[in-house]
Structure formats: structure tokens, C-alpha cells
Amino acid sequence: MRKKVKVGIPRSLLYYRRNVFWKKFLEGIGVNVILSPITNKDIIEKGKSLSIDESCLPSKIYFGHAYYLVDKCDYILVPRVSNYGKEKRVCMKFYGLYDTLNNLFPDTKFLVYNIDYLNWNFEFVEMMKLGLKLNRNIFRVLWSYFSSRRKEKNYRLSLVNEQINVLKSNKLKVLVVAHPYVIYDDYLGSNVINYLKEMDIQILYSDRMDRKEAISYSKDFSKTLYWLYAKENIGSVFYYKEAVDGVIFLSSFPCGVDSLVNELAIRKIENVPSINIILDESTAEAGLQTRLESFIDIIKARRDNE
Amino acid sequence: MNSDKIVSFPHLGCYAVVFDYFLSNVLKCKILVPPPTTRRTIELGSKYSPDFVCVPFKYNLGNYIEALEKGANVLIQGGGGCRYGYYAELQEEILRKLGYDFEFYNLIVDNHISLKKGYRFCKKINSKTNIFKCGYYLFNSLVMILCIDKIEKYIRSNMGFEVTRGEFEKLEEEYFSSFDKNNGLFKIIKNYYRYKKNFKKISLNKNGKHLKVMLIGELYSLIDFNTSYNTERKLMKMGIEVYRETDLTYLLIGKKMRLSKMVRKSKKYIKYNLGADASLSVFNALRAVRDGYDGIIHMKSFGCIPEITALSILENIASENNIPMISLSFDAEDNEVGVDTRLEAFYDMIEGRK
């Protein structure tokens, strides 16, 4: 029997957005998927030492994850995303992710797919190319693509439905607005999430709502916003504005997009209490908890008054 | 003449004269060039800006505030690219919260300056203008930018070697004041050739053994001399030939035409376009290696994402090809002395290597 190709996926950045699709697609074409572990101290230290000081914390963590995978698999999957069409651009760090990694680890092979709709690089074609590199059977690749898309869609739907159920509860509800790679990362967002859960507060996630709907809501906020991920985040704020008791903006230092968009959003939503938490390498848990505690006291008091 | 409207715009290096020319001819109302950027400008700007936004935002905001203090009531923002394209909305919101009364025009659509929106803005301010007039003056402005950039390029490569100190700067000042709002296309071109001749007349003390340095990095920090504390001029005065390709000519004309070629030519290090001007940085670093430059200076504003991507690649290029490189990152709180010290140390190093 032929040995299976091993493909590693760093558990950071776009992993939290596309994990279901990637895993199903790669397994469908007969590839062993290796995931890097949940973010831990070693990974962060390694990532920090590999990257430029000024780069944002999630991308530092990404390099740490990639380093972990370097000698454990044949390929590492790295997407290069530029845009999904007009006014659907993404943060510039995704433009050069592949090239940076390629320069950091010159001896490692990377699987890259390039999404750049304005230059006619569509996801379907790019995934086909990637699939055919690993598996010659085009029918298998096609089937794998469509089935994994369907699975991803169903998974998204289940998340959205879960969120709708959360919305029905009578407890205090807080919307956490953050990029998925900040909020689901064990080192970055989990402190906040765990604390909120401890306080028995229902958490709504900004990425667990219908993306198209979120984008249409973001038009209320700003007509010239052109970042896709920021649109989805901000759209959720304006969608849930009436339903939640408070909004927590969670961003990592120094996130370029959030520095503008979150600031503007805080200025524009007036009658909902909001807090802007910026996570960096030295965020102390105690300080964070104090801030969250006082924020929760405020929203509790507000609710009791009504 | 529309008397009650005073239009203003943020500074961008030495190009204020071009914007002034275009706007005053098309809008036929009073144009207020904001006062030159000083320490106060950046202090005002960073006081009201979000924490970790990049430096151009702070400079622009400072320019706006100073222009508003002088009585401007129509502001324009027309810069695109990366984060710059989204500045306008937040700047408008901040200025409104500060209590100023003004009209704000954002000419950006999907991260690029939109000619259609720009024309609509011109029509709104001055209803008598038409598309031919706008086109004519736009073309003239473009020619002006080309002329200025050519002259500046000559200055950059030769100013360090003038026999009598200060001649270049004097003539440059004269050139900038020679622009007149009533100039036609012919006059602009004639002026350019006249001054080009004058610049060529300045006697130089240039032998083949001088130092050559390539300046690369983010567009705003390179063009706008305030951001970089005149780093470029300081280098020239040390007697270095400075080469920099990033200017408005590149941004407006060169980028669209040459981007894919640049990525292809530097394929040893990059496969895709890195966004903003990062591909140009990598391309020019490789060019510096190829043409035997003595050093590379990389400049960016703090937290510039595309340049951070480029920097990790540039470090590889520098170490593999054994070419000295320093990276300067500018923030509002930086002090000039620190930058000077680093430049001097860099100068000593490349001189020692030569």
C-alpha cells in the first residue's frame, strides 16, 4: 500500500474559519491531515522569535504553529487570500502569508491556493488545482470539493441555529465582536470567554450569524467599508444591537483593521454599553478580569433599572 | 466665484502645489493650503486618534484641524490603499465630535480614488465646471507631478555633491514657487525644461567612488518628509547618492503597469503580490543588490502590515546577498535624535565597508 501524504494545517488565522472545509476536502482526496496543537506557551515563544516585533499577535502565533508542523508532515496548507471580489478585501497580512512562510522555512513544501477574485483566481479552480496535485483522480477531487462545501454549509447553519437558541434565553446576553482567530484561540480569547461563562452570561459570537445578512447590515454602519471580515463583524453588531445587553470588542495588538473599524463602531452605537479590549502579549489576567467585572456590573445595573 | 466655501486637503510631501493648482482651477473658490506640518500638527493629530492607527492618519488629522482653525469648511480625503482608504470616515467622525462645522468629501470607492466621485464633488462645489475642463486640469496636474518627480529624482542623486552648499535647495524652492495657478500645459513643460537646465548647470564634485543607497518602504513615510524627519535630505547632505522609486508617478502610473512584472522579476523570493507597495520594496531591494548599491534603508510607519510582510523577506535578501540594511519605523512619539544616531551609525558602517 502506498504511504499516505501528510498535510499539516496550522491551528490559527483562517483555520478557525475554514477548518471543516479543509479537513473534509483533504481527507476526501486521500490525505492524512495533521493539526498543530492548541496554542500553548512554547508555540507563542517560537512564533515571537520567528516574526517581526511589530506584526500582529495572531500572525505571530501562526508562525509558531507552522514551525511545529515543519518536520512533522510533507506539506503545510497555507492559503493566500487577497479578495473575494469588489469591496470584499481582506487584511493585508493574508496577502503575504505564503511568501513570508516560504522565506522563513525554505526547505519546507507548502500547499498554497490563491484567492483573488479581481484577478480571476476563483476558489473552485484553485481548490481543483490543489486537489489534483495530491490526487490524480479528478472525479474524486470534484466530489470531495462539493461534499466538503456542503458539510461546511451545514456546519455553519448549525452554528447559526445554536446562536438563535441562545438569543431566546432570558439571562444577560453579551455580544463578543472579534475575528474568529482571536476569539477561539486558546491563548487570546479564551480568557474572556471562560470568565464570561463563569459569570453565567450568555455569549453571542459575531461570526455565528448568516454572513450575507451581516454584510447587508454593515451597510447601515458604513458605505465605504471594504474589508470582508470587518463587514461581517460590524454587521453583527448592528443586527444584534437591540437584543443584547452589551457589546465587547475584542482585538489583538496591533490589528490594523480593528484600529479603525472598532473605534468608529464604538462611536456610532450609542445606547448599547460597549467595551474595547485589546489583547497583547503581556495582557494580565487579573487586569482583564477587573475590566470585565466592572463592565458586567454596568450592564447588570442597566438591566435592573429597566 | 463661490466665496463662502474654503476648500482644504491634507499635505502629502511637496505635492501641495499640485493639489492647489488643480482645485483652484476646477472649483474656482478659495483653496486653503494647510499650514506646513510641524510638531504641533502631529501632537494635535495623535491626541485625537485611536491608539495604534498608523502615522499617516495622525498627520492627516492634524492637518485637518489646523486647516479648520484657519477657517476651512470643506475638507477632502482622497488617499487609497491598505488602511488609508478607510481613514476618511473615522476622521470625519472625530472632527465632528470635536465640534467643527464643515463638509467632508470622501473620494474613495473600494480602496481606490474614484474619478466619478471626484467629478461629482467638483460639480457640486462649482456647477459651472464641465468634464473637459476637469480632464484638462487633471492632465495638467499629472504632467506637473511627472515634472516634479523628475526634478526630485535628479536632486536626490546629485544634491550630496554640490560644490557650494545649499544651491540645490535654493533652486528647488525657486522651482516650486514658479508654479502659477494660471499656467497652461505649455508653460508647465517649458518651466520644467528651463529649471532642468538650471539644475544641470550646478557644478558637481562627483567621482565614481561615492556611496549609493536605496530607499524603500511605505509610500507615505517616503514621500512625506515630516514623517521621516527629513531622513532623505540628511542622507543627501552626508554625501550619499539616494535612489528612491516610490513617488506619486509610481503610484498613479507605474504601479498598474508594472506590478505583475515586478512580482515576476523577484520570483526568487516572492510568488504573489504582497499588497500596497511591499512588492516594490522587494523588487527594489533586489535591484539594489544587482546594481551594487552600498546599502538599503527601509522606512515605514509603525504597524504597516504590508511592509512588515516585506521586511521578513527583505531580511533574507539582505543576509543572503550580504548587503547592509536598516529598517526605520516611525511613530508619533519617536524622537529625531534617535533616528539621526541610527543614520550616522549606518553611514559609518557602509563607509567602512567601501
How does pLDDT run across B140-185, given as a tens digit for each residue? 999 999 999 998 899 888 888 888 888 888 888 888 888 888 888 8
Give the whole-angstrom CA distance, residue A183 versus residue A203. Answer: 12
Residue A154: predicted pLDDT: 93
Q: Is pLDDT above 80 for A176?
A: yes
Inter-chain CB proximity B309 and A100 less than 8 Å: yes
From residue A116, how far is each of A87, A103, A133 by CA, in Å?
12, 22, 20
Choose the mutation target among A86, A93, A99 for the interface with B, i.e. most B CBs under 10 Å.
A99
What local confidence, expressed as pLDDT, does residue A283 receive?
A: 65
Is residue A282 over pLDDT 90? no
Nearest to A293 by CA among A207, A196, A157: A196
H helical segments located in chain B: 16-27, 39-48, 55-69, 87-97, 115-125, 131-158, 167-177, 185-201, 219-223, 231-237, 248-249, 255-265, 278-290, 305-321, 336-353
Residues B282-303 pLDDT 10s: 999 999 999 888 889 998 888 8
The alpha-carbon gap from A251 to the nearest alpha carbon of chain B, in Å, equals 11
* Distance separating alpha carbons of residues B5 and B105, to the nearest angstrom: 13
Residues 6+ apart with CB under 8 A from B41: B35, B59, B62, B63, B65, B66, B226
The CA-based angle A215-A221-A225, given to 5 degrees, is 65
**Cell (9 digits) for A107:** 526547505
Average pLDDT, integer, range A103-110: 87
CB contact under 8 Å between B83 and A260, yes or no, is yes
Query: Which residue out of B49, B260, B305 would a mutagenesis test of the A interface target, given it has the greatest number of A Cβ atoms within 10 Å?
Result: B305
Chain B, window 237-276: residues with a beta carbon less than 8 angstroms from a chain A beta carbon: 269-276
pLDDT value for B165? 85
Q: Is residue B54 predicted with pLDDT exceeding 90?
A: no
> B188 CB near a chain A CB, below 8 Å?
no
Residue A116 has pLDDT above 80, yes or no: yes
pLDDT surpassing 70 at residue A2? no
Across chain B, mean pLDDT equals 86
- A5-152: CATH topology is Rossmann fold (3.40.50)
Give residues with Cβ within 8 angstroms of B181, minimum separation 6: B20, B21, B24, B25
Residues paired with residue B326 on neighbouring β-strands, in sequence order:
B297
Contacts of B46 in chain A (CB under 8 A): none
CA atoms within 13 A on the CB side of A52: 25
Common-topology check for domains A5-152 and A169-305: yes
CB spacing of A51 vs B312 below 8 angstroms:
yes
Confidence check: pLDDT of B2 > 60: no
Residue of B nearest to A86 (CA): B110
Task: Indicate whether A155 pLDDT > 90.
Answer: yes
pLDDT tens-digit map of B57-101: 888 899 999 998 888 888 888 877 778 888 888 888 889 888 888
Q: What integer pLDDT is reported at residue A146 of this predicted model?
A: 92
Residue B33 confidence (pLDDT) above 70:
yes
- pLDDT digits 0-9 by tens, A83-97: 888 888 888 888 888
Q: How far is residue A97 from each of residues A13, A286, B139, B224, measured CA to CA in Å?
A: 10, 34, 38, 29
The top-level CATH class assigned to A169-305 is alpha beta
Mean pLDDT of A195-221: 86
Instruction: Please determine, for residue A194, whether its predicted confidence score (pLDDT) is greater than 60.
Output: yes
Is beta strand B2-8 parallel, antiparallel or unpaired with respect to B29-32?
A: parallel
To test the contact with chain B by mutation, choose from A224, A258, A261, A277 the residue with the greatest count of B C-beta atoms within 10 A, namely A224
Asked if B306 reaches chain A (Cβ–Cβ under 8 Å), the answer is: yes
pLDDT of A107 above 80: yes
What's the average model confidence in pLDDT over A23-40?
Answer: 88
- Nearest chain A alpha carbon to B320: A103
* pLDDT on residue A1: 55
* Domains of chain A, residue spans: 5-152, 169-305
Secondary element (H or E) of residue A135: none
Task: Give yes or no for residue A221 having a pLDDT over 90.
Answer: no
For the cut 80, the answer to whether the pLDDT of residue B329 exceeds it is: yes
CB contact under 8 A, A82 and B54: no
ipTM field:
0.87
Q: Kindly tell me if the per-residue pLDDT of B1 is higher than 60.
A: no
